[in-house]
Amino acid sequence: MSTWQNWAGNQTMSPASVLHPRSTDEIATAVKDAASAGRRVKAIGSGHSFTSIGLTDGVQLQLDRHDRLLSVDQDAMQVTVESGMQLHALNTLLTAHDLGLTNMGDIDVQTVSGAISTGTHGTGRASGAISAQVVGLELVLADGSVVTCSRDERPDLFEMARVGLGALGVISAVTFQAEKAFALHADERPMPLDDVLDGFEELVADNEHFEFYWFPHTRLALTKRNNRTTSLEPLSRRRAWIDDELLSNGLFEVTNRLCARAPRIIPRVNKIAARALSAREYSDVAPLVFTSPRRVRFCEMEYAVPRADLPAVFRELSTLPEKIGEVISFPVECRVAPADDIPLSTASGRDSAYIAVHVYKGTRFDRYFDAVESLMGTVGGRPHWGKLHGLSSVELAERYPRFEEFRALRSAVDPEGRFRNDYLDKVLGAP
């Protein structure tokens, strides 16, 4: 029996069997065979979720060989790919056809099905999560049947499955609404945290994509503004290597290892790191601006809060490490997204701001994450489905107006609980 581990190393499983389907037919056959054997089924992608959302003791479907391009409609600017394709491969494919996604997050190793199923997002004043750019899905349901859905075909299933948590079926193909390829101008600079929070609404309104990172135990933040441009002025290869590999990955890994051994030095290290930040500007094709290499491993919790509440909530958050007697080496990230109409999207029905807290791999995080989660609860915060949290279906039902609709559809399309696991039973309740 093989043992699987996620990227962060905090989740493991030993499924009864592991399959690598190469087609939708093979996925359907695997689901039917699992039903005959009385086993549960879970598809797994790149393992970038920090929660146990993808774990199973039954049949694990690894989608690494189910990753082909299926079609490109150049006129409609729509692309259909198999669900195991990773986002970086999707970006390469789109670029080859002079197309691009409107928005995406800063990590591009997730599979497309994993990214949309957990609500993966970037930051955008008016452009939402990756799932908001989906216009069609193909799913294998619990009985092994294959269905397609869109706004015109089985719209009830489509709107729920765009952030479906893997609870409604195995996504086998995804159709994205792309647009003409474009470039972004990146403007990155340090600012006092209080200035960022005082001007937060203006910073969001003035930039297509705005985010900031705050260094705990300091009052400094690194701001990032990305806006469309028609010119290309990329970083030199040397500058990109120094900034993104040597400093952001190599040196950051070393300092985190030192801080893990001697936590008392963390406030001093963070102050040095914050003061060492330098401004930079460059322009490049959008995927190279949206994404960054992330080689330092960590565990993460992220909550979506109403955007208007962000400044007050973040001010309180900035005092938490000292209040609870914890020292935190990893920066806290803040991003934004517009309201969308996806029932279990963290931005469903409200303009949102995201607060993501991290700790270095192997570092204790319970006191810190518990304190952050309690604070987020004061404003009805919604946890990212693929990142650590402690909420159950009881609390989540209060934070999602259409929660019961999702649960009802889950029971209808998977009455025997073929796609159940402990995580889904916790956050959705047992069907």
- Percent of residues, the chain, with pLDDT higher than 90: 92
Over 70: is that where the pLDDT of 211 sits? yes
Number of domains in the chain: 3
b/e map 144-183, b = 16+ CB within 10 Å: bebbebeeeeeeebbbbbbbbbbbbbbbbbbbbbbeebeb
pLDDT digits (tens, 9 = 90+) for 153-183: 999 999 999 999 999 999 999 999 999 999 9
Average pLDDT over residues 131-158: 98
The pLDDT, as a whole number, for residue 243 is 85
- Domain identity same for 300 and 313: yes
First-to-last alpha carbon distance for the chain, in angstroms, is 29
- Domain identity same for 209 and 164: no
Which tokens go with 51? 């929660």
Q: From 44, 61, 78, give the residue that closes a domain.
A: 61
b/e map 195-222, b = 16+ CB within 10 Å: ebbeebeebbeebbbbbbbbbbbbebbb
- Percent of residues, the chain, with pLDDT higher than 70: 100
pLDDT digits (tens, 9 = 90+) for 288-321: 999 998 899 999 999 999 999 999 999 999 999 9
pLDDT digits (tens, 9 = 90+) for 17-68: 999 999 999 999 999 999 999 999 999 999 999 999 999 999 999 999 999 9
Q: Is residue 400 part of a domain?
A: no
The one-letter code for the residue type at 58 is: G
Average pLDDT over residues 84-110: 97
Indicate the angle between helix axes 252-261 and 266-276, nearest 10 degrees. 160
The pLDDT, as a whole number, for residue 317 is 98
Q: What's the CATH code of the domain at 19?
A: 3.30.43.10
Q: Is residue 273 part of a domain?
A: yes
Q: Is residue 224 part of a domain?
A: yes
- Domain identity same for 108 and 136: yes
Q: Is residue 394 part of a domain?
A: no
**How open is the CA angle 227-229-232, to the nearest 5 degrees?**
120
Q: What's the CATH code of the domain at 143?
A: 3.30.465.10
Q: Is residue 404 part of a domain?
A: no
Beta carbons within 8 Å of 251's beta carbon, 6+ residues apart? none
Which tokens go with 116? 């949309």
Q: From 42, 61, 80, give the residue that closes a domain.
A: 61
- Domain identity same for 225 and 160: no
The pLDDT, as a whole number, for residue 276 is 77
The pLDDT, as a whole number, for residue 352 is 98
Answer whether 40's CB lies under 8 Å from 58's CB. Answer: yes
pTM listed for this prediction? 0.96
The pLDDT, as a whole number, for residue 2 is 79
pLDDT digits (tens, 9 = 90+) for 212-244: 999 999 999 999 999 999 999 999 989 888 888
Which H or E run contains 374?
Answer: helix 366-377
Answer whether 42's CB lies under 8 Å from 54's CB. Answer: yes
- Tell me the backbone φ, ψ of residue 6, rounded to 5 degrees: -80, 175
Q: Is residue 265 part of a domain?
A: yes
Answer whether 394's CB lies under 8 Å from 430's CB. Answer: no
Residue-number span of the structural domain to which 39 is assigned: 4-61
Beta bridge partners of 224: 188, 211
Beta bridge partners of 36: none
Q: What pLDDT band is residue 1 in, cutting at 50, 70 and 90?
A: low
- Domain identity same for 104 and 197: no
Q: Is residue 397 part of a domain?
A: no
Which tokens go with 189? 């600079």
The one-letter code for the residue type at 90 is: L
Q: What pLDDT band is residue 246 in, cutting at 50, 70 and 90?
A: confident
Q: Is residue 342 part of a domain?
A: yes
Closest CA to 295 of 66, 25, 7: 7
- Domain identity same for 162 and 199: no
- Domain identity same for 227 and 372: yes
- Domain identity same for 240 and 291: yes
Q: What's the CATH code of the domain at 226?
A: 3.40.462.10
- Domain identity same for 90 and 132: yes
Q: From 156, 180, 204, give the residue that closes a domain.
A: 180
pLDDT digits (tens, 9 = 90+) for 335-387: 999 999 999 999 999 999 999 999 999 999 999 999 999 999 999 999 999 99
- Domain identity same for 133 and 10: no
Average pLDDT over residues 112-122: 97
Q: What pLDDT band is residue 396 in, cutting at 50, 70 and 90?
A: very high
DSSP state of 243: I
- Domain identity same for 168 and 245: no
Beta bridge partners of 227: 185
The pLDDT, as a whole number, for residue 251 is 87
Indicate the angle between helix axes 310-317 and 366-377, nearest 10 degrees. 150
Which tokens go with 74? 């150049």
Over 80: is that where the pLDDT of 73 sits? yes
Average pLDDT over residues 411-428: 97
- Domain identity same for 108 and 197: no
Which tokens go with 405? 């609709």
Which tokens go with 241? 């290597």
Beta bridge partners of 347: none
